[in-house]
């Protein structure tokens, strides 16, 4: 699975595309496979490819800067930018320490548009159906914004914060469903039995605000990559 997703990302890079990137545990094997793939390229070819790298991450915690190990900026630095020696500025991510988070969300959204939009948007799935940090309820056309994280999401992400949901930042900046659905292609990656139920709701039930990922059904070019455990409830009845 990870190798398949890494191949898709690599191809998009070869095509000169703008990548939309995601964080979370699901992406760790994906980025490991991408590192392996890119590091296996002859050095001149790799350097050429990495020089043209352009990506936008989906989201960032408000209050965490790149020096905080649990920030998504630090995650991207560990997973990709550091090992592949990609220039810092090539991997865009909302500034978690911006003084005005709402203004930062507007700036970030405009930066995506100025780059020509996202060609291939990688997405994980939250246990409560969120994509990026678009928490339910969420319409199909929410813009990039600063929002309050749900208790369920803070619980889901507590592991990285010593197991304490209260230690997870209360707010985040996220690209909205509007920007996500505007990407030219979507690649949703879901693993594990714990997400089988929410994946079924997202893909097989009518789109609704209670399951933000269900809006992805409206996209003409959505690819879903799952393992058998996550796919367990996808039979059509
Ligand atoms: C996080 C991120 C999402 C991610 C999701 C799933 O909070 N904001 O972009 O897809 O939750 O995370 P995981 O892969 O760790 O289950």
pLDDT, tens digit (0-9, with 9 covering 90-100), for 45-90: 999 999 999 999 999 999 999 999 999 999 999 999 999 999 989 9
Which residue from 69, 59, 52 is spatially nearest to 13, judged by alpha carbons?
52
CA of 109 to the centre of ligand 1 (A): 20
**Nearest atom, ligand 1, residue 22 CA:** 9
Q: Give the C-alpha separation, 57 to 209, whole Å.
A: 23
Residue whose CA is closest, atom 3 of ligand 1? 132
| Residue in 121, 123, 124, 144 to alter for ligand 1 test, most ligand atoms within 8 A of Cβ | 124
How do residues 159-198 score in pLDDT, each as one tens digit? 999 999 999 999 999 999 999 999 999 999 999 999 999 9
Q: Is the pTM of this model over 0.85?
A: yes
Q: What are residue 57's DSSP bridge partners?
A: 21
Render the burial of 211-237: b for 16+ CB within 10 Å, e for the rest: bbbbbbeebeebebbbbeebbebeeee
Residue 236 has pLDDT above 90, yes or no: no
Q: Which atom belonging to ligand 1 lies closest to the Cα atom of 133?
A: 8
Of ligand 1's atoms, which has the minimum distance to the CA of residue 192? 16
Tell me if 58 CB under 6 Å of ligand 1: yes
Whether the bond into 137 is cis, omega within 30 of 0: yes
Max CA-CA distance within the chain?
52
48 CA distance to ligand 1 centroid (A)?
31
The pick from 28, 130, 149 for probing ligand 1's pocket by mutation, whose C-beta has the most ligand atoms within 8 angstroms, reads 130
d(CA 80, CA 38) in angstroms, rounded, equals 10
Q: In sequence order, which residues have a C-beta less than 8 Å from that of residue 180 and are 6 or more positions away?
A: 20, 58, 121, 123, 131, 132, 134, 186, 216
- Sign of the Cα pseudo-torsion (151, 156, 157, 159, in order): positive
The rounded Å distance from CA 43 to ligand 1 centre is 32
Determine the 3-state secondary structure of 163 from DSSP: coil
| pLDDT for residue 188 | 98
Encode pLDDT of 82-106 as tens digits: 999 999 899 999 999 999 999 999 9
Between the CA of 40 and the centroid of ligand 1 the distance, in Å, is 28
Residues 6+ apart with CB under 8 A from 227: 1, 190, 191, 192
Ligand 1 atom at minimum distance from 123 CA: 10
Residue 235: what pLDDT? 85
pLDDT for 88 equals: 82
Active site residues: 59, 128, 130, 135
Long-range (24+ apart) CB contacts under 8 A made by 199-203 are 199/125, 199/226, 199/230, 199/231, 199/233, 199/234, 200/233, 200/234, 201/129, 202/125, 202/129, 203/234
Q: Which residues pair with 91 in a beta bridge?
A: 55
- Pairing assessment for the beta strands 120-123 and 55-57 based on DSSP bridges: unpaired
């Amino acid at each position: 699975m990870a190798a398949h997703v890494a191949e898709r990302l690599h191809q998009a890079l070869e095509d000169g595309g703008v990548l939309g990137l995601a964080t979370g545990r699901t992406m760790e094997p994906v980025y490991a496979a991408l590192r392996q793939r890119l590091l296996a390229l002859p050095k001149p070819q790799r350097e050429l490819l990495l020089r043209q790298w352009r990506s936008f991450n989906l989201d960032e915690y408000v209050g965490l800067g790149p020096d905080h190990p649990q920030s998504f900026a630090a995650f991207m630095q560990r997973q990709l930018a550091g090992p592949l020696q990609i220039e810092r500025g090539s991997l865009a991510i909302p500034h978690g320490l911006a003084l005005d988070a709402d203004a930062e969300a507007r700036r970030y959204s405009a930066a995506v548009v100025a780059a020509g939009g996202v060609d291939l948007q990688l997405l994980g799935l939250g246990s409560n159906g969120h994509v990026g940090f678009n928490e339910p309820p969420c319409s199909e056309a929410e813009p990039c914004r600063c929002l309050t994280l749900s208790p369920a999401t803070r619980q889901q992400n507590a592991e990285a914060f010593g197991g304490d949901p209260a230690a997870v930042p209360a707010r985040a900046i996220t690209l909205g469903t509007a920007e996500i659905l505007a990407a030219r292609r979507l690649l949703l990656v879901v693993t594990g039995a714990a997400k089988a139920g929410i994946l079924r709701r997202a893909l097989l039930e009518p789109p609704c605000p209670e399951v933000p990922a269900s809006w992805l059904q409206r996209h003409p070019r959505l690819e879903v990559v799952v393992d058998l455990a996550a796919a367990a409830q996808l039979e059509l009845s």
